[in-house]
Amino acid sequence: MTDFKHTKQSNSGSKRAETGELGEKIRQARSVRPGVAAAHAMRQNELTGFGRAFRMASEFVAAIIVATALGFALDAVFGTQPIFMIVLMLLGFAAGVLNITRAAAEMNAAAPKPDPDKLVPIDDDD
């Protein structure tokens, strides 16, 4: 029984040494490829296609809902027909389109620029 405990302890000691060596190899591999880590960090800050679409849709809908609610409240306060609601809903639509335009311009400015040499195929006939 004593041999079993002694064997078990020596195995755990060697496994710790192997784990330490593995950890060192992992650290070396990560230090060799810093570009991969930098690219991963950049992708964390970018929106996916679904994220972009959701942002634009929510900005558009929010502008219309806020303007329509404000027009509805003004109609209730002044006791008018839904003239304020209709006018402000149209203004909300215009504000939503403006918000989408600004958001798209902001996203396009943040996107990496393509290499101009790769945009047009090489024409051998010229």
Domain assignment of residue 7, given as a range:
1-46
pLDDT band, residue 28 (cuts 50/70/90): confident
Number of domains in the chain: 2
Statement to judge: residues 64 and 85 lie in one domain: yes
Q: What angle do CA 77, 71, 81 make, to 5 degrees?
A: 65
pLDDT reported for residue 7: 47
Q: How far apart are CA 104 and CA 20, in angstroms?
A: 49
Domain co-membership, 80 together with 57: yes
SS (H, E, C) the chain: CHHHHHHHHHHHHHHHHHHHHHHHHHHHHHHHCHHHHHHHHHHHHCCCHHHHHHHHHHHHHHHHHHHHHHHHHHHHHHCCCCHHHHHHHHHHHHHHHHHHHHHHHHHHHHCCCCCHHHHCCCCCCC
Tell me what the mean pLDDT of segment 119-124 comes to.
Answer: 72
Q: What is the mean pLDDT of the chain?
A: 80
Q: How far apart are CA 94 and CA 64, in angstroms?
A: 9
Both 38 and 14 in a single domain? Answer: yes
58 pLDDT tier (thresholds 50, 70, 90): very high
**Does pLDDT of 63 surpass 50?**
yes
Q: Do 52 and 92 sit in the same domain of this protein?
A: yes
Q: Is residue 120 part of a domain?
A: no
User: Are 55 and 16 contained in the same domain?
Assistant: no
57 domain residue, yes or no: yes
Which of 14-18, 49-53, 99-103 has the lowest average pLDDT? 14-18
Confidence of residue 38 (pLDDT cuts 50, 70, 90): low
pLDDT of residue 70: 97
Q: Is the pTM of this model over 0.85?
A: no
Q: What is the pLDDT of residue 105?
A: 92
Residue 105 lies in a domain: yes
Interatomic CA distance for residues 82 and 18, integer angstroms: 77
Residue 61: what pLDDT? 97
